[in-house]
Amino acid sequence: MPDPDLVIRTSGEQRLSNFLLWQSAYSEFLFLKEMWPDFNKKTSIERLENIKQRSKIRRSMTKYHRTEGIVLEHTN
């Protein structure tokens, strides 16, 4: 099974409680105030769209790895 791209934690807690600690090292984290029973399809789609936009922005900002102005590697 691949490592998760997104870890969602409900209940307002901002910790992982050692859940998938190593596997989620490079994952996006989403900490929500609502409890799990209140987490529905509508809110989940809204949140996923928000994360999708953030990921696009982050990828566009980290397109090249640079050291002293020299392009070392293209990460496309």
Looking at the DSSP bridge assignments, the partners of residue 30 are 8
Q: Where are the domains of the chain?
A: 6-74
pLDDT value at 2 more than 80: yes
Question: Nearest-CA neighbor of 59 among 76, 45, 73, 47?
Answer: 76
Q: Is the pTM for the entire model greater than 0.75?
A: no
pLDDT tens for each residue of 26-75: 888 888 888 888 888 888 888 888 888 877 766 666 555 555 555 445 55
Rounded Cα distance between 41 and 64, Å, is: 36
